[in-house]
Amino acid sequence: MYRLKVHKKGITVIPKEIRDKFNIKEGDEVNVIVDDKGIYIFPMQTIEKYFGSDKGAIDALKILEEERRKEREKSNA
Same domain assignment for residues 67 and 39: no
* pTM of the full structure: 0.54
What distance lies between CA 52 and its chain's CA centroid? 19
Same domain assignment for residues 40 and 69: no
Vertex 30: Cα angle to 65 and 1 (nearest 5): 130
Same domain assignment for residues 40 and 57: no
Same domain assignment for residues 37 and 8: yes
Q: Which of the four pLDDT bands, split at 50, 70 and 90, describes residue 11?
A: very high
Percent of the chain with pLDDT over 70: 86
What distance lies between CA 59 and its chain's CA centroid? 19
What distance lies between CA 40 and its chain's CA centroid? 10
Domain of 75? 46-77
pLDDT above 60: residue 48? no
How many structural domains are present in the chain?
2
Q: Residue 16, SS3?
A: helix
